[in-house]
Amino acid sequence: SQQGEEDPQALSIQEGENATMNCSYKTSINNLQWYRQNSGRGLVHLILIRSNEREKHSGRLRVTLDTSKKSSSLLITASRAADTASYFCATRPSYNTDKLIFGTGTRLQVFP
């Protein structure tokens, strides 16, 4: 399998706490993206970070990228019960392809 790995596999927190998920990947990349998937539904794009960027913010989301370690992290601040979902990182390899290579995902549960 080409999939990257994410940790933790599962995370349970209380509303208001921060949630951090980590992603490691294998190939050189053009960009890395994070997606959210609610149970039984399709994936929703959250944020994209290019290979020449180190950090990006969008609302309560903060993404970091370390290409030397082939790793990324997603931080969700002040979590809400509605953030309960599975989160996947996906990389766009730097060789000539448009496909995405997804990680194994982190299941986040936020308790009210």
Partner 1 sequence: GAGVSQSPRYKVAKRGQDVALRCDPISGHVSLFWYQQALGQGPEFLTYFQNEAQLDKSGLPSDRFFAERPEGSVSTLKIQRTQQEDSAVYLCASSPARDHTDTQYFGPGTRLTVL
Which residues in this chain contact partner 1 in the complex, by CB under 8 A?
Answer: 1-3, 30-31, 33, 35, 41-45, 48, 50, 88, 90, 92, 97-105
What is the smallest separation between the CB atom of 106 and partner 1, expressed in angstroms? 10
d(CA 11, CA 53): 27
Neighbour tally for 35: CB within 10 Å: 20
Nearer of residues 5 and 17 to partner 1, judged by Cβ: 5
β-bridge partners, 102: 90
Minimal distance, residue 15 CB to partner 1, in Å: 25
- Between 13 and 48, name the residue whose CB sits nearer to partner 1: 48
Which is closer to partner 1, CB of 17 or CB of 30? 30
Q: Which of 104, 100, 71 shows the shortest CA–CA distance to 87? A: 104
**Rounded Cα gap, residues 3 and 48, in angstroms:** 18
CB of 16 to partner 1, least distance (A): 28
Which 3 state secondary structure label does DSSP give 82?
A: helix
Min separation Cβ 19 and partner 1, Å: 18
Whether residue 93 is preceded by a cis peptide bond, meaning omega within 30 degrees of 0, is no
- The residue among 19 and 92 lying less far from partner 1, judged by its C-beta, is 92
